Each structure stands twice: as C-alpha cells, then as structure tokens.
Amino acid sequence: MSVFKSCDIRGLYGAELTPTFALELGQAIGTVLNGGRVVVGGDARPSTPHLKGALCEGLMLAGCYVLDVGLVPTPVLYFAQQWLHSDGAVMVTASHNPVGYNGFKLMLGEGPIAEAELAALAERMERREFRQGQGYWNRADVLEAYQTDLARFFTTGRNLRVVVDAGNGCLARLSPDILRRQGYTVIERFCEVDGRFPNRDPNPAVAAHLSGLAKQVVMEQADVGLAYDGDGDRVVFVDNTGRVLPGDRSLVLFIRYRLPTAQTPGERTVIYDLKCSSVVAEEIRRWHGLPRLERSGHTFIKTTLLREQAGLGGEISGHFFFGELGRDDALYATLLMLQLLSRADKPLSTLVDEIPHYPITPDLRLACSPETRDVILVDLPAAFADHEISTIDGVRIMFDGGWALVRASVTEPLITVRFEGHTQARLQEIQAEVAWRVPALGRLLKLEN
C-alpha cells in the first residue's frame, strides 16, 4: 500500500519511510516550489529528527531557503507559513498514529495539498526529476508570535478549572502555558513531551483512550477536560460529569455560540464531514446558517472552508476550522470553548444535554472481497434512486429521520458502514431497509451482528 494517502504521507518508519525517502521528498517539493521559502517543523516522535534532517537536506539540494521552526504543533506550522510568508510548509508527523509510524503533512502554496498534487510528487520521486540548486537553512522561532496572535481573539473569562491531557504530544507544554496566561486554573495530565506516547494512545477520538481523563475531571471537580492528539491539531472535550464529547456535539456548541451574531453568508456557512450527526445540519439551519457537507479529511474541509470563505468547520474526529484563521487549530478551539463556558450560566454537561441526541452506530467495519465491495458501491445508488444521495466519499443515503453511510477502506479489504436514526426504532428500520435493498450488504451486516 502506498504511503501517499488522500491528505498526507504516512507509513511505518524504517520499513516504508526512511531518511532516503525524506531526502527525495524534499528534492521533489523543492522542485515544485522552484527553490522557494519552505517552513519545516516536526513532532516529538523518536524518528522525526532523522526524517526532518533528511527532508531539509533535500529541500536545500533543490535550492530552497529552509526555515526550521523546530518541535511544534501542526497549527503552529500553519501559522508560521502565513507569518513568515513562505511558499510552502512541511510538518514531519504521523498525527495520531502509534509511535512506530511517521509521515509528512504538506502545503504547496497557501492552500492544503490536493490528492492530484500528492500523486504528482510520487511520480516525480519515482522518475527522480529534481531541480538542482544551492539552498540554505535557518532557525525561526515563532512560538511567542503564535501565542500573541492567538490571545488577541480572546478575553480573559471566569476562572474555570481545566484538566489538560496532552497525551505527551506537541501541546504538552504550550497548552497549559497559554491557558494559564488566559486566567484559567490548569491541572496537567501527561504534559511532558515524549513522542513514545507512554501514557495513552495519541488518538483522543476513541473514548476508551480518555477514561483516565474522564475520572480525573470528576475527581478534581473540573469544569472541562481537554485531550489533544499527537501533533496538536485536534482536541476532544470531556464535560464536567466525565462524558467524552464526540466532535459533532462540540461543533454544535460552537454553532450555537457563533451563528447568532454572524453577518455575512460566509460567516453563516459551516462545513462539516459526512460522519456527523443530522443534528449538525439541523442546528445550522435553526440559526439561519448554510450547511455544507464535505468528505472526512483535513484537506477537504479546509479547502471548502477557504473556497467558500466559511466561518466555521468541523469533523467528528475533533478537527475544528475557523474562517478568521483560514485553518484548523486545536488551541483556538480550546480557547473558544472556554470562552463559551465562561459566558454561560450553565455547566458544560447541561449545554450538551440541551442538544438533541439521535441514536447512531459507530463505524461498522465489514470485511469483504474487492469484488463484493465494488458490487455494493454500485448497487447502493441504484437501489436508492428514490432517495437523496451523496457520493462525495462512498455513498451516503438520506432517509426521513436518518441516514446510512457506506465507504470503502483504502487500506484494508473492507467497507465501513454507519447508520443514524432519530429514534432507536427508526435506526433499526433504516438498517433493515438497506440490508433488504442491497442483499450483498445485508449478508455482511448479518455477519457483523
């Protein structure tokens, strides 16, 4: 399987990604950017210095001026690209993947990299068609400028008690420091940078990974818990009762907070991924906003946010995007949530309870052959031609009171299926109808059950 994914590059260090690969990637990027200015950062994984050093060497061989911002969260790299007016940016990280993995998040120009651009880089590396030049390297310290820029959007609120679970990732030092500067009481959890992730899995979107944080929030009588991923671009919130909030419910709180004062069509536009509950679109419309469904993935949400000049975007995985930044930022989302809570006269648990809750399944991972997968993805649109269907990523079928989503895995021989219904009974009816209309999928769902 290729290390070139739909939004980034990712693979096992030593087996799929090596310093030689990083060197040639740097040469390819430098060629595309014609020897321009490139900001480079990295996460705390043990393999990152090896890959980052080789990447920088490759960029310089192609004539680039490399601005190394050091060990930083991914949102700081995005800020640095804007602040330093660079032509491109590369973050060496495998985000939320286990410690044995690493990878690269790229920006070639002002927008996120597209699938076609990633494919072109892969082809260039295979052909070894690289620009020759004499570049140079310099260190750039951007953390203080980033913190100053972030703080200008927020005022100090009431003194909330906050448990920060950085998971030993890139925000381990930065998040507690910024929150204390803003006047909050911070209780630290795994706030020592350690790219081996010795205390918990770096993916906070799995509720089971946050059981310790949930218990500590209750024990400390804290107002909220915060959990970040490995490279610090995603945040998952835990309410004061210890409930882990899915990203779409946190997004609804942002919608309710921001849309009532939105003025322009852009500010009223909210981008959300196709795994989100129906309540997201309902809340956007309730506050006279414009819902825009998009496929899951940082690149796709951000591209649509920029194209439509949207005010807000979010994914169920904990990525949150803001029009005033033109990007996602977990710390910005953190400060917005804390400002929201500071101005509310209710605890977070009550605010969440006020959001409608519809029964929804997790991703059901159904093993199948490529032939069966292809039959299912062809049969679904035909079988539900009388329904509203989205095919931006797999097949999403809208029902009265719910939806079904079927997607093909790009890394494994399986499909993922997800259902939502406004009631438990409606959820079961939707599942039964999908199984009846598409027998090949019905057989897999029976195996799952």
Closest CA to 282 of 307, 251, 312, 261: 251
Q: Cα–Cα distance between 214 and 432 in angstroms, integer?
A: 35
In 185-329, alpha helices (H): 211-219, 247-258, 265-268, 278-286, 298-307
pLDDT of 302 reads: 94
9-144 CATH fold = Alpha-D-Glucose-1,6-Bisphosphate; Chain A, domain 3 (3.40.120)
364-448 CATH fold = TATA-Binding Protein (3.30.310)
Q: What angle do CA 419, 421, 426 make, to 5 degrees?
A: 115
Amino acid sitting at position 239: D
pLDDT of 284 reads: 98
| 448: pLDDT strictly greater than 80 | no
| 144: pLDDT strictly greater than 90 | yes
| 212: pLDDT strictly greater than 90 | yes
| 43: pLDDT strictly greater than 80 | yes
Sign of CA dihedral 13, 14, 16, 20: positive
- Cα 298 to chain centroid, rounded: 5
pLDDT of 228 reads: 98
pLDDT above 70 as % of the chain: 99
Could you tell me the pLDDT band of residue 443, with boundaries at 50, 70 and 90?
A: very high
Q: Cα–Cα distance between 303 and 309 in angstroms, integer?
A: 10
DSSP 8-state assignment for residue 209 = G
pLDDT of 447 reads: 56
Q: Cα–Cα distance between 8 and 117 in angstroms, integer?
A: 10
- Local structure of 295: helix, strand or coil: coil
Mean pLDDT of the chain: 95
pLDDT in tens, 339-358: 999 999 999 999 999 999 99
* Environment class of 387 (CB within 10 Å of its CB; exposed 0-12, middle 13-18, buried 19+): middle
Question: Distance of CA 23 to CAs 51, 163, 390, Å?
Answer: 8, 40, 40
List the catalytic residues. Answer: 10, 95, 319
Q: Cα–Cα distance between 31 and 441 in angstroms, integer?
A: 46
pLDDT in tens, 363-382: 999 999 989 999 999 999 99
Could you tell me the pLDDT band of residue 109, with boundaries at 50, 70 and 90?
A: confident
Q: Where are the domains of the chain?
A: 9-144, 147-238, 247-353, 364-448
Rounded average pLDDT over 246-268: 96
Could you tell me the pLDDT band of residue 449, with boundaries at 50, 70 and 90?
A: very low
In 17-151, alpha helices (H): 19-32, 48-61, 74-83, 115-127, 143-151
DSSP string, 345-365: SS-HHHHHHTS----B---EE
pLDDT of 412 reads: 76
More confident residue, 6 or 367: 367
| 305: pLDDT strictly greater than 60 | yes
Q: Cα–Cα distance between 211 and 200 in angstroms, integer?
A: 10
> 9-144 with 247-353: one CATH topology?
yes
Pair 440, 372: CB distance under 8 Å: yes
| 410: pLDDT strictly greater than 70 | no
* Environment class of 415 (CB within 10 Å of its CB; exposed 0-12, middle 13-18, buried 19+): buried
247-353 CATH fold = Alpha-D-Glucose-1,6-Bisphosphate; Chain A, domain 3 (3.40.120)
Q: Does domain 147-238 have CATH number 3.40.120.10?
A: yes
Could you tell me the pLDDT band of residue 298, with boundaries at 50, 70 and 90?
A: confident
138 Rama class: left (phi>0) / alpha (psi -120 to 50) / beta: beta
Go through 102-122 and write b for each residue having 16 or more CB atoms within 10 A of its CB, e for each that does not: bbbbbbbeeebbeeebbeebb
Rounded average pLDDT over 150-159: 87
Amino acid sitting at position 388: E
Tokens 């921001």 sit on residue: 258
Q: Cα–Cα distance between 213 and 227 in angstroms, integer?
A: 8
| 287: pLDDT strictly greater than 90 | yes
